[in-house]
A and B are shown apart, each in its own frame.
Chain A
């Protein structure tokens, strides 16, 4: 009987001291989200996950969540994850493919990258019809083409000790 009581105390105490939580499925909010070896922004990057990749959250520790994705376990900055499937994502992306895709992510400086959608023809036609200046229309197109690449953004965060790099 005493053994049983000790066992329960031991189990309960063990549970209380861990921050391990019931595994929940969360999703990666944005492509190229880093899966890291430790709960630190400067730790080794194990891979990069695509938007919509489902991950099992195993543990929460400050700004980072320990997750399991496609057989790989690592840490992700918590604001890169969402409980709901992000819009526009397939949701069942090939996680292993995503993990292996790190090399494919080219390092580019902030530049006019490829446009995601561009100014809608409906918007442009309407703007022309209403006499908006061509310069204004072109400015919106330029605005849409402008892309800050992930590497530049990461460097910016690191220099400012922001985001995952914040103390």
Chain B
């Protein structure tokens, strides 16, 4: 009996000592991991990383050859070939825009934001606070390996913007509507999510301005300054007038809430602020309201996917710290 016990102990000790990668229990391990994973597919998983969606028609490069062949064999007449070729060019795969080019586009748009929306608000202490909150949510985002920059705009209209490459803006008017740090974190995280998920770039990559361009590099931009003009006009129109696709806004809401939650903030704060914003007269007719889905739609969507944030009320809102940071404003 004693021998059996010793053998059992030895086997047990051996098991514990063996590096775990020696065993692959497949599904059992997956179940262990699953227990800490968000249950909902539409949410970013805790380890998810930014994978910008593929440009359309990645395989269309072959089509030109086929059209040419069809033309030479007399299957298509010239007019049909031309139409087909134009369609192919529209769909021609654009290599994902690299970070350097993303920063060039985002930096130019950032100048435009200051130019259009009152310039920078001069309050170094408040700026420091906004940067601290912004950085905390950016650090747990799915794209924390780039630099994020946060600024306050000198306008009383409630506004918040993100431009590609890591530029995030919030207006002093919006800050004055906020009640606590968790709300601010939710708003900044929403903007960080636009950058992390490359929403503006996705829109641009589908743009007609890039028809026939297979790779947007600074060299290409240098050779064709008109192209950069077109790109900036197009993204400006989306960010400042038309607004991004509703789906992208909803995605930014969901990811934003998730990033704020990962940081440890009360995850219901963004939803609560959206509701407040919807009821505010200040927001009516603002650029913020015209470029975003209605507050009701956004609130409903966040409400629909709230179940995963159990014990949400235990998370802090940090209202006092926010009020201290903003107190000179009141």
Contact flags B217-261 to A (C-beta < 8 A → 1, else 0): 010011001001100100000000000000000000000000000
Residues in chain B near residue A137, CB distance under 8 A: 111
Given known contacts A146-B131, A148-B132, is B104 in contact with A120 (CB within 8 Å)? yes
Classify chain B: how many residues form its interface, as a range.
Answer: 35 or more
In this assembly, does B135 line the interface, its C-beta being within 8 Å of a C-beta of chain A? yes
Contact between chains at A14 and B114 (CB < 8 Å): no
Nearest B residue to A111 via CB reads: B128
Q: Which A residues from 26 to 82 make CB contacts under 8 A with B? A: 29-30, 51, 58, 60, 62, 78-82
Are B131 and A135 in contact (CB-based, < 8 A)?
A: no
Whether the Cβ atoms of A153 and B135 lie closer than 8 Å is yes
Contacts of B19 in A (CB 8 A): 23
Closest CB in chain A relative to B99 CB, distance in Å = 6
* B123 proximal to A (CB < 8 A): no
Partner of A22, one of B23, B115, B316: B23
Write the nearest CB–CB distance from B155 to chain A, whole angstroms. Answer: 13
Which chain B residues lie closer than 8 Å to A82 at the CB level? Answer: 47, 49, 145
CB A22 to nearest CB in B, in angstroms, measures 5
Q: Is the CB of B20 within 8 A of A58?
A: yes
A163 to B140, Cβ gap below 8 A? Answer: yes
B131 touches A21 (CB 8 A): no
Best-surrounded residue of B46, B108, B218, B229 (most CB of chain A within 10 A) = B108
B296 interface hit (Cβ, 8 Å): no
Whether A87 lies near B104 (C-beta < 8 A) is no
Given known pairs A23-B19, A87-B99, A120-B103, the reply for A79 and B139 (CB within 8 Å) is yes
**Which one, B24-32, B271-279, B285-293, is touching chain A?**
B24-32
- Please tell me if B12 contacts chain A, counting CB pairs below 8 Å: yes
Min CB distance B230 to A, Å, is 12
Residue in chain A with minimal CB distance to B112: A132
A144–B104 alpha-carbon span in the complex (Å): 13
Interface size on A, as a range, is 35 or more
- Interface contacts (Cβ under 8 Å), in number, total 179
- A110, B111: Cβ atoms under 8 Å? no
Chain B residues with Cβ below 8 Å from A19 are: 32
A82 to chain B, nearest CB (A): 6
Q: Report A103-162 residues with CB < 8 Å from chain B CB.
A: 110, 116-117, 119-120, 122-124, 126-127, 132-133, 135-137, 139-140, 142-144, 146, 148, 152-153, 156-157, 159-162
Does residue B21 face the partner (Cβ distance < 8 Å to A)?
yes
Interface string of B109-145 (1 = CB under 8 A from A): 0111011000110000001100110011001100011
Q: Known contacts being A19-B32, A30-B144, A152-B132, is A139 close to B47, with CB within 8 Å?
A: no
Whether B136 lies near A153 (C-beta < 8 A) is yes
Q: For the complex, what is the distance from the CA of A107 to the CA of B128, rounded to whole Å?
A: 17
Q: Which residues of A contact B108 (CB under 8 A)?
A: 120, 122-123, 126-127
**B145 near A89: Cβ-Cβ < 8 Å:** yes
A140 and B149 alpha carbons, distance in the complex (Å): 9
Residues of A within 8 A of B265 (CB): 162
Stretch at the interface among B3-11, B85-93, B297-305: B3-11
For the complex with contacts A15-B28, A124-B111, A136-B115, 4 further pairs of A-B residues with Cβ separation under 8 Å are A3-B4, A80-B139, A122-B222, A135-B120
Listed in ascending order, the chain B residues whose CB lies under 8 Å from chain A are 4, 7-8, 11-12, 15-16, 19-21, 23-25, 28-29, 32-33, 36, 46-47, 49, 99-100, 103-105, 107-108, 110-112, 114-115, 119-120, 127-128, 131-132, 135-136, 139-140, 144-147, 149-151, 167, 181, 218, 221-222, 225, 228-229, 232, 262-265, 315-316, 318, 321
Mind listing 6 A-B residue pairs with CB under 8 Å?
A: A3-B8, A122-B104, A124-B111, A132-B111, A133-B119, A136-B111
